[in-house]
Amino acid sequence: MTFKAIDLFCGCGGFSLGFLQAGYEIILAIDIDPVVLKTYELNNYGIPILNYDIRYLRAEKILEITGCTPDVIIASPPCEQFSVANRFRKKDPFMRLYDDNTGQLVLHAIRIIGDLQPKVFVMENVIQLIDGELKDALCNEFDRVGFSKIFFNVFHAEDYGTPSKRTRLFISNAKLRLKKTNSSQNLKLSKILEDLPDPDFIQEIPNHELTPLTTRRDKKIQQLRRGSSLVYYRSAKESMNTNWKKIQGNSICPTIIGHSRYVHPIKKRLLTVREHARLMGFPDNFVFYGGISSQYNQIGEAVPVPLSNVIANYLLEKQLQVF
């Protein structure tokens, strides 16, 4: 039996890809950004896409397009209003969820999940989504729409085949008891990137071009030592975060987020879009559309493909077979 899934806030399609690889049928992908939907469409020809603001989306419209109720809903609402990396997030966790237009997208996702009543749903976000009393608040929101038992699953993507660090929360009506699939030794940066050709030369790998830099910034990169960064900024908790960091080739890549830029451990240049994509588990034939900043952002905002695939397979083996 092929299980049918809908992807809310689909982005470029990392979450979807893991489920497609596991044999699911994606019957609808929804996002407000036409650029990311172009990337999604380029890589998933034939899957219906909907360019829509989820705040105004109703279950009736989804059913009109799909013709059936999905077995699974996956969703990855924007995380910036909850993320500790955002120093401008609201101090009160409740205000982030209930008084912020972007934060409220989590509530709209819950509304749609409640209206469609899938067998299983999985919602991805940063772990700060359950700061303070937000966990209880989310339990109440899900209970109100018919899901009385909710699990807050936290995973480190590098434990499940992703060649970069990433800790994320997966809220579901299923307890996800995933088995770790990878040793960190297999995910070293140098090993993941070693067979890619130099972007200076003509080659056929998409999105593997040098990122243009100003002369001033290029000169600073030339002088950068491993482990040091060009950019430092304060997080919401006043700790110091970095960007444009020269990373170590003998370790796993740090977390890739939307504005992340990393300097190659050996070559004095930024990692290309393709190199970022590899570090999030995207295959080399996955093409990213849009300007170069958008391409980097699409990757940094995606759910890592290997982790998505492990979740998808677990649901097939342990959860969906009981329905």
Report the first-to-last Cα separation within the chain, whole angstroms: 11
The SS3 of residue 53 is coil
Which pair of tokens denotes residue 223?
Answer: 């002088």
What is the DSSP annotation of 265-306? Answer: SSSSSBPPHHHHHHHTT--TTPPP-S-HHHHHHHHHTSPPHH
Q: What would the DSSP string read from start to end of 219-264? A: HHHHTPPTT-EEEEEE-TTSPEEEEEEE--TTS-B----TT--EE-
Catalytic residue (one of 10, 12, 68, 79)? 79
Residue listed under structure tokens 């060009």: 230
Residue 79 is among the residues annotated as catalytic for this protein: yes
Helical pair 134-144 and 105-116, crossing angle rounded to 10 deg:
30
Q: Letter for the amino acid at 207?
A: N
Residue in 75, 145, 131 with CA at minimum distance from that of residue 105:
75
**Alpha-carbon gap, residue 200 to 16, rounded angstroms:** 32
The count of other CB atoms within 10 Å of the CB of residue 284 is: 15
SS3 (DSSP) at 76: coil
CA distances from 155 to 10, 48, 188, 296 (A): 20, 30, 19, 23
Catalytic positions are 79
